[in-house]
């Protein structure tokens, strides 16, 4: 299985180009030994997830999703690129690929529960002294004596003090219960994301019916598509795009009739307060009979990099 997994990675031209040009390793045997060493290191602390077993940390999953090109193109909109925050960033592979494809590294942030994963990422990509991406170790769902289920961890709050234009969750949501999902989305909409058009994107394993499955000591929560959409709408997300993508079953899933798949999504956050402010700004502009203005404090989401972006005419038929 090791040989099959690494051979598949070596045959991917995007992965080869990234490791040759960014990491500085091009020899096949050197690459495989390097990946194997990092996999062993990742397994030293915390659960040994399937994505670690099968070297999924090596390449970027984000780069294959339907929303990726729009994300990269945000650097071409004529103003500062929006801050991108990756929740559950693991080794930071997706963020580094995004930077490699032209996104400014100082606008990229990653948060992961396991500091060891972040440290292993520096070793995987050999950029500890040069990587401009900001990584934060912390639990996005934690509550302490000074927090409540509706407030965010002080560790994260003290290190990430701004609003992101884009929040991304990759292969994370299927590790959360429905209650935890509500907490996560609340934190994103209240503390982390621009309320006037900030974009929320991600991909996770979902199902037609909400259920859970425990395998190899790890529990996965397969949240139904409609349940997931209901949570987003409850927290004032709009323009929800959903894309089902095929997923290969694990051997220990063959005895079940549960239909699971990858669910990629993209939506915008427009809170009632932000919408009211935008409407007031528009009314004031109409009253002034102004065609345009150079007011730097204009809060209209249509003038912000990382706002709504282009909208797809399809809500669920696109394939990455």
The CA distances from residue 181 to 12, 115, 178, 283, 309, in Å, are 34, 22, 5, 37, 25
**C-alpha 114, offset from chain centre:** 16
E-strand ranges in 182-306 read 196-207, 211-215, 218-224, 237-245, 260-270
CA-only gyration radius of the chain, Å: 20
* Tally of CB atoms within 10 A around 24: 11
Q: What is d(CA 172, CA 288) in angstroms, rounded to the nearest whole number?
A: 47
Q: Tokens for 171, please give them.
A: 């292969």
DSSP 18: H
Cβ neighbours of residue 151 under 8 Å, at least 6 residues apart? Answer: 143, 191
Structural domains present in the chain? 1-59 (no CATH), 62-303 (3.40.50.150)
> 3-class DSSP state for residue 279?
helix
**The pLDDT value given to residue 159:** 81
Contact of 195 with 273, CB cutoff 8 Å: yes
Indicate whether 24 pLDDT > 80: yes
Looking up tokens 């949570």 gives 231
**The pLDDT value given to residue 248:** 80
Q: What is d(CA 162, CA 261) in angstroms, rounded to the nearest whole number?
A: 34
One-character DSSP codes across 112-129: ES-HHHHHHHHHHHT-TT
Average per-residue pLDDT for the chain? 84
Q: Which residue has the higher pLDDT, 148 or 207?
A: 207
In which band, very low, low, confident or very high, does the pLDDT at 166 lie, cut at 50, 70 and 90? very high
Q: Which of 143, 114, 135 is nearest to 51 (CA)?
A: 114
pLDDT tens, residue by residue, 235-244: 999 999 999 9
In which band, very low, low, confident or very high, does the pLDDT at 42 lie, cut at 50, 70 and 90? very high
pLDDT tens, residue by residue, 208-258: 899 888 776 677 889 999 999 999 999 999 999 999 999 887 665 555 667
% of the chain at pLDDT higher than 70: 80
The CA distances from residue 222 to 51, 177, 249, 294, in Å, are 17, 9, 13, 47
One-character DSSP codes across 163-217: -BSEEEEES-GGGS-HHHHHHHHHHIIIIIB-TEEEEEEEEEEEESS-EEEEETT
Indicate whether 98 pLDDT > 50: yes
Q: What is d(CA 39, CA 140) in angstroms, rounded to the nearest whole number?
A: 25
Q: What is d(CA 203, CA 169) in angstroms, rounded to the nearest whole number?
A: 7
Q: What is d(CA 301, CA 135) in angstroms, rounded to the nearest whole number?
A: 28
Q: Say what angle helices 93-100 and 115-125 make with each other, to 10 degrees.
A: 40
The CA distances from residue 189 to 18, 146, 197, 237, in Å, are 33, 20, 11, 8
In which band, very low, low, confident or very high, does the pLDDT at 68 lie, cut at 50, 70 and 90? very high
One-character DSSP codes across 19-45: IIIII----HHHHHHHHHHHHHHHTTS
> Averaged over 313-319, what is the pLDDT?
38
């Amino acid at each position: 299985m090791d040989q099959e997994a690494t051979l598949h990675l070596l045959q991917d031209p995007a992965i080869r180009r990234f490791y040759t040009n960014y990491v500085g390793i091009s020899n096949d045997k050197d690459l495989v030994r390097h990946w194997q060493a990092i996999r062993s290191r990742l397994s030293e602390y915390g659960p040994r997830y399937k994505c670690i077993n099968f070297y999924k940390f090596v390449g970027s999953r984000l780069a294959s999703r339907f929303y990726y090109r729009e994300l990269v193109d945000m650097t071409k909109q004529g103003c500062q690129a929006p801050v991108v925050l990756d929740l559950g960033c693991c080794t930071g592979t997706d963020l580094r690929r995004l930077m490699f494809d032209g996104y400014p590294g100082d606008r990229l942030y990653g948060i992961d529960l396991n500091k060891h994963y972040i440290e292993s990422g520096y070793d995987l990509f050999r950029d500890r002294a040069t990587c401009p991406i900001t990584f934060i170790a912390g639990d996005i769902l934690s509550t302490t004596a000074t927090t409540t289920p509706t407030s965010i961890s002080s560790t994260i709050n003290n290190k990430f003090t701004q609003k992101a234009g884009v929040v991304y969750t990759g292969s994370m949501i299927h590790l959360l219960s429905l209650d935890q999902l509500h907490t996560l989305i609340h934190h994103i909409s209240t503390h982390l994301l621009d309320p006037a058009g900030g974009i929320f994107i991600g991909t996770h394993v979902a199902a037609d019916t909400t259920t859970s499955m425990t395998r190899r000591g790890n529990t996965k929560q397969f949240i139904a598509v409609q349940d997931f959409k209901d949570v987003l709408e409850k927290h004032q997300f709009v323009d929800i795009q959903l894309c089902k993508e095929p997923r290969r079953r694990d051997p220990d899933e063959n005895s079940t009739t549960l239909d699971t798949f990858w669910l990629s999504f993209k939506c915008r956050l427009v809170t009632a307060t932000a919408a009211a402010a935008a409407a007031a700004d528009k009314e004031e502009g109409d009253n002034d009979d102004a065609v345009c203005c150079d007011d730097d404090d204009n809060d209209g989401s249509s003038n912000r990099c990382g706002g709504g972006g282009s909208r797809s005419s399809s809500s669920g038929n696109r394939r990455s």
